[in-house]
Structure 1
Amino acid sequence: MPRLPAGTNAGRLSRVLSRVLSRVLSRTCALTLACCLAGAGLAACGGNTTTLDGATPASGASDASPASGATPANPASGASPAAPASDSGGGAVDPLKTTVDGIVQPFATAQELPSIIVAVSRGGTRHYFTYGQDVSAPISADTLVEIGSITKTFTTALFAEALSDGTMTRSATTQAYFPEAALSRCAAEVNLIEMADFRSGLASDPISVSFSDPTPSDIDHWPVSKFVAWFAGYKSKVPPNESCGLPATYHYSNASVGLLGLAIARGYGQEWDALVAERITTALGMSDTVPFVSDAQRPRFATGHSDKGAAVPHWPRFAWFAAGTLKSTPADMLRYGEAALGHLSVDGRPVPAALRDAFAVAQTPLYRPIGDSFHQAMAWVTQPVDTSAPDGALLAYKDGGTNGFNSVIITDSSHDTAVFVVTNQVNTGIQRIGLEVARALAASSN
């Protein structure tokens, strides 16, 4: 702002400008109004709302850059730059922040969560809101977290691509993909779509998964060969003249999507990790979405917590890794959400048409489980945006949980909105909060 002119009207002009500035400048600038009147720029008056240690404050932050903008270059260290934390509205009420605060702040306080972040993309503009008790280590846009079963949606996107390019077919059975195993009759009859939509009849996990288990179940101790051998005996005692009951009724299964990932890898003749990188994460610029955290990324990898608030080890890699091995960041998950919404580009990178089509196929409802209010797609679940209009527009979502993290990704194509919520504490019921945020945002834009 230019300096005030000298003369008898200077005082009156100063008072007028002060009243205007009080409406448009941020609260941080209010304490230094004198410096602004004297000619200092907004930056000198504290326009960026960040804590002294650089963490995004609990009041929330917005990234005003649209998704079509250029992606900043990664630092030489390999760490991704944090999303800019900016004041949302220069002191004016931010309806988006108010909506999210009203839902998430009471939830975070009641559960005494270490940290929780709500990442929102609306029309390609991204916003991040952080809450929680651990102000020294809040989850920010570029913090790595375990996304658990959201990994399944990466696997079903690959499966949908394989269906489209003819590498696989919906009705193909598993026998062709596991020739080394002597599959039981019922195991051989399970088809690929039944693995993708939880109608294979398989148990949730092949064995008990617990850090306290005296027999470790991570891939170093319980390899893929044992996993396939376990599947080979599926319903092995069913008499030859009796039906295997396929497709089975809905039963959520990590094992089924883990086996699907192995089948996809064998169908393409590439490792699952490589397929995810080649066809999804590299294409979308998701450099922080990885099966293994690098040394350069490790300082940004959040610590998970039990439901009692105790720090826990990071989740190991299981033989059914295609169902839950990935780590990501809120910023990357919004890139993923925008691609799943059907955006033509993400951060200036064209989204491959095959991937856009794959997301559309994977999110298409296939059936409604008996007694449930949702429809099941390929790993994704769908529900109405407006619960009073069951035949209206749909939300597609998938939640994830590990021993120390709880997360959910939601897409609402009718409002061009993606929501990702994650906390570094287990068993929080975060799916409900994510859906509540998505529905509130939809209602506010109608």
Structure 2
Amino acid sequence: MGADAEAALTATLNTAVDLDGAPGLSFGATRAGRYLAIGGKGRRGPDDAATPDADTVFEIGSLTKTFTAGLIFELEAEGRLETSGTIGAYVPDLPEAWRARTLASLLSHTSGLPEYLDAGNFMDLMPRDLTPRDLIALAAGKPVDFEPGARHAYNNTGFVLLGMAAEAVGGAPYWEQIETRFLRPAGMMRTGPRGRLQLDANHAGGRFWNGEIWNDHPPISAAGSTFSAGGLLSTARDLTHWAIAIDHGVVLTPHARRQMWRPAYLADGTPAGWGHGWVVERDDEGHVIVAHGGGTAGFSCWFRRDIDAELTTVVLTNQNGRADPLTMTEQLLARLT
């Protein structure tokens, strides 16, 4: 696609998306390893009138989990761990009821582990730069929610443990492994955890809707508040770089892709409605769709790959609580397909 066609499509997509209370957003789209469009609209923050662009840094929250899943399966491909193995084999000193839960059950959110992060402590925890052990301690005294494989329940605790397992066998800290294996090869120069990533003026300010009023100064998220479950910041350009790197085989081995994007099943053989670190589903045309979102105190996002159409979209918004990045993604897709 030429520069003029890309600019025209970017303008079309820009007008297609309703901010719905979000100060602003950045978006990108790729097909078959090439850019289609990339841009932004609105404001970088409630107090920042500049328009976000492809290089504006946003918190991406739980989209981090897709990188964690990729890391785990890369380590498995190298023989350093087994996802059929138990978390207790890689992370010591866990509550007894946790130890026999498999890495695969953590990846598919079917482990039944108690949640350390919930609506009651969310706003207090977000700005706290805790250690992974601190996070685990928040849930260690709680009973498990259900037996492994009994049902699917989204869980952050399990992904903190996966990051700890990766550190135990990977020979380097979690963030260093993510950077060397994924970010650098993909050319993601403006992606990383707060503290490691050096922010310039082009970063977004968040907004939070509590159901009644907007909070225009919610707490920023410290990397330690979510670790490998949600600690990354990124940009629309970097995430489109990531999609293109995946398309060209620069990152993620065939083993990692195959294992992440296969459906998970419950103990009784019924579908869990999830993959391994990703949402995995089929659309009305029968295409395999893999996706994941993220949300922090002031940000939300949605990353979607149509594997069969080789089409990837990313939407990053600087709000959480009202405007839905999945709806915004659907607005983009209506103009792309």
TM-score range normalised by the length of the shorter chain: 0.7 to 0.9
- State the alpha-carbon separation in 2 of the partners of residues 229 and 305 from structure 1: 29
Q: Which has the higher contact order (CA 8 A, sep 6+)?
A: 2
Query: 2:192: which partner in 1?
Result: 290
Query: 1:69: which partner in 2?
Result: none
- State the alpha-carbon separation in 2 of the partners of residues 188 and 203 from structure 1: 13
Query: 1:251: which partner in 2?
Result: 153
Change (3 A) 1:219 1:425: closer
Indicate conservation of the 8 Å contact 1:337/1:410, yes or no.
no
Larger radius of gyration: 1
- State the alpha-carbon separation in 2 of the partners of residues 225 and 133 from structure 1: 37
What letter corresponds to residue 135 of structure 2 in structure 1?
F
Which of 203, 219, 224 in structure 1 is aligned with 2:132? 224
Query: 1:361: which partner in 2?
Result: 259
Gaps of 5+ in 2: none
- State the alpha-carbon separation in 2 of the partners of residues 224 and 295 from structure 1: 19
SS at match of 1:117: strand
TM-score by length of 2: 0.85
Change (3 A) 1:136 1:319: closer
SS at match of 1:421: strand
- State the alpha-carbon separation in 2 of the partners of residues 89 and 260 from structure 1: 39
Query: 2:143: which partner in 1?
Result: 235
Change (3 A) 1:397 1:89: closer
User: What RMSD in Å do the two structures reach over aligned CA positions?
Assistant: 3.1
State yes or no: 1:299 paired with 2:201. yes
Indicate conservation of the 8 Å contact 1:187/1:235, yes or no.
no
- State the alpha-carbon separation in 2 of the partners of residues 400 and 432 from structure 1: 14
Query: 1:178: which partner in 2?
Result: 91
Query: 1:25: which partner in 2?
Result: none
- State the alpha-carbon separation in 2 of the partners of residues 289 and 128 from structure 1: 17
- State the alpha-carbon separation in 2 of the partners of residues 433 and 373 from structure 1: 28
Query: 2:37: which partner in 1?
Result: 127
Query: 2:234: which partner in 1?
Result: 328
Change (3 A) 1:313 1:273: same
Query: 1:154: which partner in 2?
Result: 67
Change (3 A) 1:259 1:87: same
Query: 2:277: which partner in 1?
Result: 379
State yes or no: 1:432 paired with 2:327. yes
What letter corresponds to residue 236 of structure 2 in structure 1?
P
Give the drift of 1:282: 1.0
> How does 1:6-405 map onto structure 2 within 5 Å?
87-88=4-5, 94=8, 97-98=11-12, 100-101=13-14, 103-104=16-17, 107-108=18-19, 111-123=20-32, 124-132=34-42, 136-179=49-92, 181=93, 183-184=95-96, 186-206=97-117, 208-211=120-123, 213=124, 220=129, 222-230=130-138, 232-233=140-141, 235=143, 245-292=147-194, 297-307=199-209, 308=214, 310-340=216-246, 342-344=247-249, 351-352=250-251, 354-367=252-265, 375-385=273-283, 387=284, 389=285, 392-405=286-299
- State the alpha-carbon separation in 2 of the partners of residues 337 and 369 from structure 1: 33
The count of corresponding residues between Structure 1 and Structure 2 is: 326
Per-residue CA shift, 1:81-127, capped at 9, x if unaligned? Answer: xxxxx65489xxx56754x35641xx22xx23211222111231241
Gaps of 5+ in 1: 1-63, 66-85, 239-243, 345-350
Change (3 A) 1:89 1:201: closer
- State the alpha-carbon separation in 1 of the partners of residues 68 and 132 from structure 2: 17
- State the alpha-carbon separation in 2 of the partners of residues 438 and 301 from structure 1: 26
Identical residues among aligned pairs (%): 24
Return 355-364 or 149-158, whichever deviates more: 355-364
Indicate conservation of the 8 Å contact 1:279/1:355, yes or no.
no
